[in-house]
Amino acid sequence: MMSTATTGTPPAFAPRLSPADVAQYETDGYVLFRQPVFSAPKFAELKAIFEEDLARYSTKELDMVHTRDERLLPFLLAEEVLDLVEPLIGPHIGLWASHFISKPPFMGKATPWHEDSSYWNGRVSTMEGICTVWLALDNVTVENGAMAVIPGSQKNGFSEYETVDREKNIFGSQIKPELINEAEAVYFELEPNQCSLHEARIIHGAKANTSPNRRAGYTMRYFPTTSKLNPERNIGHPIWLARGEDKAGNTYANA
C-alpha cells in the first residue's frame, strides 16, 4: 500500500523495529532487519522491475532510476518501508534518493571505505537523520561483496580522504587507512527481501565480489523534512514527500 504522504497527516504506523533495534541504531549507526520487508509477491514484482532496468540501463545509470521508472515509487513510498524508517528519523519523511546496485560475479572492484555524507556535503542543511535502507535482492555474503560498516563512526561524517586506483575501486577516493580499524568492521550478510538500515555519516565499504554469485541490492534513502535542501546544489534532483508534512520549506515532486 502506498503511503498517504500527500494528506499532510502522519498515518498511524506499525513500528517494525524494537526499542533495542532503535537504541542500536542510535549507538552504532546501523541496524539489520532480518525479516521480509515486503510480501513475497510484492518483492517478486520489485525484483522483476530491477531485472528489467538492469537490462535496459548500464550499471552506471541505475542511480535515481525511480525518476525514469515510476513503477518504483509505490515501493519507495510503501508503508512497509516507512514503518522501518519512522522510528529512526521521525514522522515527517522525505524520499531523498534510490539506487539499484549490482556487483556481477567475479567483479574485481571494491567499494572503498567512505561516508555518504562526504559526497553530499552542502546539499542538505544537516546530514544528521539521513537514513539508507539497503534491501537485498540477492543473497548477500562476504564472498560476493557484502557491505561492512565501522560501528559508531557516524559521529563525524567528514573524514580525510586520499586518492585510490579506479582500476581496482568503484570510487576514486577512500578514507585514509590510518583513520580506520578494520578489525571493528561488521559485515551485513542478508537474505533476499531482508535489509539493513544505516546513517548517512557512518563509515562503510565493501570488498570486491570474488564469488560466482551476483550481489544486487536496492538502496532507498530518506531524510527528515526538518532538514532543508539547498536548491542550488540539487538542481534536477527531485524529492518526494513520503510521509507527514514538510517542515523546512522544501519543494516536492508530489506536492
- CATH label of the domain that carries residue 145: 2.60.120.620
pLDDT, residue 12, reads: 60
Residue 8 lies in a domain: no
Render each residue's pLDDT in the chain as its tens digit; 255 residues: 344 444 444 456 678 999 999 999 999 999 999 999 999 999 999 999 999 999 999 777 899 999 999 999 999 999 999 999 999 999 999 999 999 999 999 987 899 999 999 999 999 999 999 999 999 999 999 999 999 999 999 998 999 999 999 989 999 999 999 999 999 999 999 999 999 999 999 999 999 999 999 999 999 999 999 999 999 999 999 999 999 999 999 999 998
- Tell me if residue 78 falls in helix, strand or coil: strand
pTM of the predicted protein model = 0.93
pLDDT, residue 73, reads: 98
pLDDT, residue 2, reads: 41
Dist CA 74 CA 221 (whole Å): 14
Residue linked to cell 500500500: 1
Residue 14 lies in a domain: no
**Nearest in space to 66 (alpha carbons), one of 80, 86, 50:** 50
List the domain range (segments joined by +) for residue 118: 29-243
Dist CA 199 CA 153 (whole Å): 10
Dist CA 181 CA 115 (whole Å): 15
Residue 54 lies in a domain: yes
Alpha helices in the chain (DSSP H): 19-28, 40-56, 73-76, 79-89, 116-120
Residue 9 lies in a domain: no
Which stretches of the chain are assigned E, i.e. beta strand?
30-33, 93-103, 111-114, 131-136, 147-149, 161-163, 173-175, 186-187, 195-199, 204-206, 215-224, 240-243
Residue 4 lies in a domain: no
pLDDT, residue 15, reads: 80
**Nearest in space to 131 (alpha carbons), one of 193, 223, 241:** 223
Q: At 23, phi and psi to the nearest 5?
A: -65, -40
As for how many domains the chain has, the answer is 1
pLDDT, residue 59, reads: 78
Q: Which amino acid is at 199?
A: E
Alpha helices in 57-140 (DSSP H): 73-76, 79-89, 116-120
Residue 139 lies in a domain: yes
Dist CA 240 CA 238 (whole Å): 7
